[in-house]
Structures are given as C-alpha cells and as structure tokens.
C-alpha cells in the first residue's frame, strides 16, 4: 500500500507542477504560432486571406490572394476537429448550432488569450442574422478538440490559420471574409434538399457558393458583415 501511495504521489507531482506553471502570455502564443507556421507559410505572410467552411465535410478551406493582384488561390483544407449541431443556421443563443452565412473577421476579433489556445471571432450574428432576430455571441474559430457552436481546429491547425490572418492584418488588410456553407451547393444537391425547412435560407447562400466556384474568389457580400 505504501508503495502504491508513493507511486501515486510521484506521478502527481509533474501534473501539479504543470498546473502551477504560468500560462504563456498572448505575445508568446502569437510568436510561437508564427515560428511554427514560418517554414511552410512565410512566403505568404501579408497576403489577404479568405476562409470557406463546409459543415457537412467538416473542412475549412484556406484561400490567399496573390500580392498586387486580384487573383485568389485555394491553398489548403483543414479538418475541423469539433463542431456541434446539424446542417442549418444558428438561430438562438444556446442552441449549440454552428452558424451558416457570410461573416468577416476584423483586427479586434483576434483573441490570443483564449482558453482554446488561439481564437478569432467570426462576427456572428451579422446584419442579416440580426434582422431575422437570431441571437448568440462569441462564435469562434479556435484551437483544441472540443466545441459548442464554434469551429475547433486543433492547436496546430489554428496556429497556421491564426498566423496568416494576423499577418494579413499587420500588412493592412482590413478584414477577412469567412463564408460558411452547409454542403457543396451544386444543383443536384440543392434539389435533394428542396423539402428541407432550411431550403429558403440556403437559397440565400447559393449565390455566394456559385460566385466562388465560377470566379475563384470570395463572394463580395456587403450586406451581412
């Protein structure tokens, strides 16, 4: 019994020690993330960023705009580690739904001291949501492996995404579009969903999907930010 108690005590010391260690400052988190992202992404630091989320596939697409050009290029898809709810828009605080629609991230949206490592607020509810009486707040793209209403990307994933967004803001990019779709909105799939209670709302999103697919750029939605 004494040996067992001694073993438990020895094992608990590192855990207790780690809990007592001060967490990294926001500046340290940003610097560490930048270092981790630098090898793969440094040539893209400062470029404008567009994020497109497809809920059904649980992926976040990263697009970048070439410098001194209007051309955008898809670069990478990240698996979403955790996302709650079902297909369809978020309508109320506490409904555990992840939203769908057209949003924008601004410099003040960045949160480097999140309990989920790094995070940024996508701006839900937007103007369109508010007109419909939708409620909710603090919908984030963040690190970690769990989420209620947000999009958890793992710490490694959010370090790359956060760094590219942050570097874009440092270069003077005013905002980052985040466009969230339920599924790939091709004609066949839309026909399949014609009886859905969300079909009318999804028709509102359809022009955004079609614009990006045909023109390879973010939908220039100016009424929902």
List, in sequence order, every beta strand (DSSP E) within 49-89.
Answer: 49-54, 59-65, 72-79
Across the strands, what pairs with 121?
A: 140
Q: Catalytic residue positions?
A: 142, 150
Residue 61, SS3 per DSSP: strand
Q: Say if CB 53 and CB 180 are below 8 A apart.
A: yes
Q: Say if CB 97 and CB 86 are below 8 A apart.
A: yes
Residue 82, SS3 per DSSP: strand
CA dist 52 and 73 (Å) reads: 12
List, in sequence order, every beta strand (DSSP E) within the chain.
Answer: 49-54, 59-65, 72-79, 101-105, 110-111, 119-121, 140-142, 151-152, 176-181
User: Rounded to the nearest 5 degrees, what angle is found at the Cα of 133, between the Cα atoms of 187 and 57?
Assistant: 35
Residue 151, SS3 per DSSP: strand
């Amino acid at each position: 019994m004494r040996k067992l108690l001694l073993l438990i005590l020895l094992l608990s010391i590192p855990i207790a020690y780690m809990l007592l260690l001060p967490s990294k400052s926001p500046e340290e988190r940003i610097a560490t993330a930048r270092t981790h992202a630098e090898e793969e992404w440094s040539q893209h630091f400062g470029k404008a960023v567009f994020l497109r989320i497809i809920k059904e596939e649980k992926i976040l697409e990263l697009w970048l705009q070439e410098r001194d050009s209007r051309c955008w290029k898809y670069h990478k898809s990240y698996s979403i580690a955790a996302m709650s709810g079902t297909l369809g828009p978020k309508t109320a605080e506490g409904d555990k739904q992840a939203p769908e629609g057209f949003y924008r991230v601004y410099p003040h949206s960045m949160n480097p001291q999140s309990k989920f490592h790094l995070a940024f607020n996508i701006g839900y509810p937007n103007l369109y949501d508010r007109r419909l009486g939708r409620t909710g707040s603090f919908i984030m793209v963040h690190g970690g492996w769990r989420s209620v209403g947000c999009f958890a990307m793992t710490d490694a994933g959010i370090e790359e995404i956060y760094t590219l967004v942050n570097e874009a803001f440092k270069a003077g990019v005013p905002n980052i579009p985040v466009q969230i779709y339920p599924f790939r909105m091709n004609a066949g799939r839309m026909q399949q969903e014609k009886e859905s209670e969300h079909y009318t709302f999804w028709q509102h999103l359809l022009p955004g999907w079609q614009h990006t697919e045909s023109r390879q750029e973010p939908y220039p939605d100016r009424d929902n930010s």
